């Protein structure tokens, strides 16, 4: 009866009805702010990345769009290579919004990516794409759009190092947060905790000071923010304020 109640509250799909949502301790990961360079000043990108790392960020989020899977065109492996050659040593989290996926994996591995995540709709063989990323020495992940179900996680959870929940529809920065992402975060957090695997749970889209605490409380541990950080005058102040709201959420 308790499981049914928790499932109903989170609107769990049939594949996840057996999850013990409240009885499993959370697989603790440190909380990380991941600035999205899509919102940075590209005329001085290396300096911008240095500035946010010095301000307290730990991961650089790298959005790759192909004007095919999503209606926008951004950056590719050469920019990732340039950041590494410039001297960036922080983890680079490459979010592929491209179709097909596999063709670009090797290029981003060679360019210095740490994580490579992609959308399940963009791969003909999800498990093979995840394995390709891991076999080449990178951490792999899946990205779920607001309307994308989580059912494939039931079969490939052993192959992912990160799960990214989108709180906006991908393609453009500066969009508003879709609150339904909070329910999806809670569901994914339950899935991760039940698995016992150290999988990062990332959120992307509309993350700001006024909602990051609520997002953290829903289970996220990795927070992508673009315009909220790069649009601020003081990167250290905005990142510190976000970290404070995350900490507040833990004691609420």
Dihedral Cα 161, 167, 169, 170, nearest 10 deg: -40
Active site residue 91: no
Active site residue 204: yes
Q: CA–CA distance from 217 to each of 154, 167, 187, 210, 239 (Å)?
A: 24, 15, 12, 13, 18
Q: Say which of 31, 66, 193, 204 is annotated catalytic.
A: 204
> In whole angstroms, what separates CA 48 from the centre of its chain?
20
Give the pair of three-digit tokens for residue 139: 């951490």
In whole angstroms, what is the distance from residue 5 CA to residue 163 CA?
25
Q: Say which of 31, 63, 66, 221 is annotated catalytic.
A: 63
E-only strand ranges, 51-119? 59-65, 91-97, 115-118
Give the pair of three-digit tokens for residue 236: 């250290």
Mind telling me the catalytic residues? 63, 204
């Amino acid at each position: 009866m308790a499981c049914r109640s928790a499932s109903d509250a989170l609107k769990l799909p049939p594949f996840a009805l057996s999850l013990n949502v409240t009885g499993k301790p959370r697989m603790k990961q440190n909380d990380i702010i991941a600035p999205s360079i899509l919102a940075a000043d590209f005329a001085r990108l290396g300096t911008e990345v240095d500035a946010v790392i010095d301000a307290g960020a730990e991961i650089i989020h790298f959005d790759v769009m192909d004007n095919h899977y999503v209606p926008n065109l951004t950056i590719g492996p050469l920019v990732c290579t340039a950041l590494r050659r410039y001297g960036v040593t922080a983890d680079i989290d490459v979010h592929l919004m491209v179709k097909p996926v596999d063709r670009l994996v090797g290029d981003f591995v060679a360019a210095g990516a740490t994580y490579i995540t992609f959308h399940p709709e963009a791969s003909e063989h999800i498990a093979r794409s995840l394995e390709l990323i891991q076999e080449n020495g990178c951490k792999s992940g899946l990205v779920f759009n607001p309307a994308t179900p989580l059912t494939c996680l039931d079969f490939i959870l052993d192959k992912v190092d990160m799960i990214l929940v989108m709180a906006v529809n991908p393609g453009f920065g500066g969009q508003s947060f879709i609150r339904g992402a909070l329910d999806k975060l809670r569901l994914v957090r339950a899935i991760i905790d039940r698995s016992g695997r150290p999988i990062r749970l990332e959120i992307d889209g509309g993350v700001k000071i006024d909602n990051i605490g609520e997002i953290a409380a829903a289970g996220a541990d990795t927070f992508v923010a673009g315009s909220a950080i790069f649009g601020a005058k003081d990167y250290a102040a905005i990142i510190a304020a976000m970290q404070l709201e995350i900490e507040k959420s833990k004691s609420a």
